[in-house]
Amino acid sequence: MQVYKAFFKIIKKNLIEISIYLLVFLFFAILMTTTGSDRQNIGFEETKKNIAFINNDKESEIVAGLRDYLSEKANIVEIEDDAEKLQDALFYRKVEYIVRVPAGFSDDFLSGKEFQLEKTTVPNSTAAIYMDSLINKYLNTASIYLKYSDSASQDEIIKNIKKDLEAHTQVTVNSFNTKKANGQKYMYYFNYMAYSLFSVMILGVCAVMIVYNKTDLKRRNHCAPIKTRNINLQLLFGNLSFALIAWALMVSTSFIFYPKQMFSLNGLLFLLNSLVASVTFLSISFLISNIIKSKNAMSAAANVVSLGFCFISGVFVPQEMLGETVLNIASFTPTYWYIKANIRIAETVEFSMKHLKPIFTDMLIVLAFALASVTVALVIMKQKRTSEA
């Protein structure tokens, strides 16, 4: 196993450069774990907005009741009734809604005449819609009591209004897609892994194959007592071992950061998909190693190929945010189908063959890229042997 041992000696000499990509990936993994959340916000929580309440009418019970009701749902900010100061308050978002009660409002309202409250709001503000609904709810309830409770006093009407508006309905929201929400974070983990894994594969495989592809070393190996077939088999096992070790190192941290999720069917599919991608990245790296001839070209290839593939296929920018033209171009790369499979896995909540078939189809397409890369690499190797003969 001399060739196999020599394989890892060469890897060891290039370990610093390879480790950089491993550390970059580990940094992103920690960053994703410490920031963001798996929780999916499916509830509603009432929040208080800042409003101004200006009363130009007499201090009646109906106006006081409206102010008290709004004070329970919003923060009433005291602002002087001056046009310039009120406009400044809106501009600087000191308040988002100003309601003005005009003179004669109480008498018009109690007598059943048409009335109109004046309002000034921040344009396109959700607070304006919310406050409009609160005011309408209060005044509509008051109008019903005034219409059908002739003998009731204003004080009784205000108490009844308050009692009615305090009634709440208990609402329970059921989520039927929590697994999708929980799968999003570690989906990005495996998405980002594509860049580091691809770069590591190119650097490791090319570092070894550039040495073994040198003409002088090839000629000396032909004179060695070891058969060429044996040398090639040891190189094959060396490449496969390196790919497996690199993959294992990167996926091992996923069990640290997402232990619960990784011991699930979704986690198993993520592992399988990343292993398939590793085989393809190894095959493409083998192809590149038969094209380039120097270590400088090796570093350039690691950056250009891995970054190029990852940028257009959805590793760094989600696929739904990429244009149709970019995605059409990206479909000719294995990383596109790898990311597509990850998205499907994260969204999978039922594990029937109907739902798993598209995922396995994407994986087979990724493997097809591996087969094509190896085929092209073998053709190049044959041409080189012919030219060297």
Q: Which pLDDT value is given to residue 32?
A: 63
Q: Which pLDDT value is given to residue 222?
A: 62
Low-confidence ranges of the chain (pLDDT < 70): 29, 32-46, 150-152, 168-184, 215-219, 221-225, 387-389
Model confidence over 328-373: pLDDT tens digits?
Answer: 999 999 999 999 999 999 888 888 888 899 999 999 999 999 999 9
Q: Which pLDDT value is given to residue 235?
A: 82
Q: Which pLDDT value is given to residue 61?
A: 85
Q: Which pLDDT value is given to residue 375?
A: 92
State the span(s) of the chain assigned CATH 3.40.1710.10: 49-165
- Three-state DSSP class for residue 50: strand
Q: What does DSSP assign to residue 44?
A: -
Q: Which pLDDT value is given to residue 181?
A: 46
CA distance 121 to 207: 66
Closest alpha carbon to 25 in 161, 146, 198? 198
Q: Which pLDDT value is given to residue 250?
A: 87
Q: Which pLDDT value is given to residue 38?
A: 45
Does pTM surpass 0.75?
no
CA distance 220 to 321: 53
Q: Which pLDDT value is given to residue 387?
A: 67
Q: Which pLDDT value is given to residue 215?
A: 66
> What are the CB-based long-range contacts (under 8 Å, 24+) for 283-286?
283/369, 283/370, 283/371, 283/373, 283/374, 283/377, 284/198, 284/201, 284/202, 284/334, 284/369, 284/370, 284/373, 285/201, 285/202, 285/204, 285/205, 285/206, 286/205, 286/209, 286/239, 286/373, 286/374, 286/377
Alpha helices for the chain (secondary structure H) = 2-13, 15-34, 61-73, 83-91, 105-110, 126-148, 154-165, 178-212, 215-223, 228-257, 259-262, 265-289, 295-313, 324-330, 334-347, 353-388
Closest alpha carbon to 131 in 75, 88, 82, 89? 75
Q: Which pLDDT value is given to residue 259?
A: 85
Q: Classify domain 49-165 at the CATH topology level.
A: abc type-2 transporter like fold (3.40.1710)
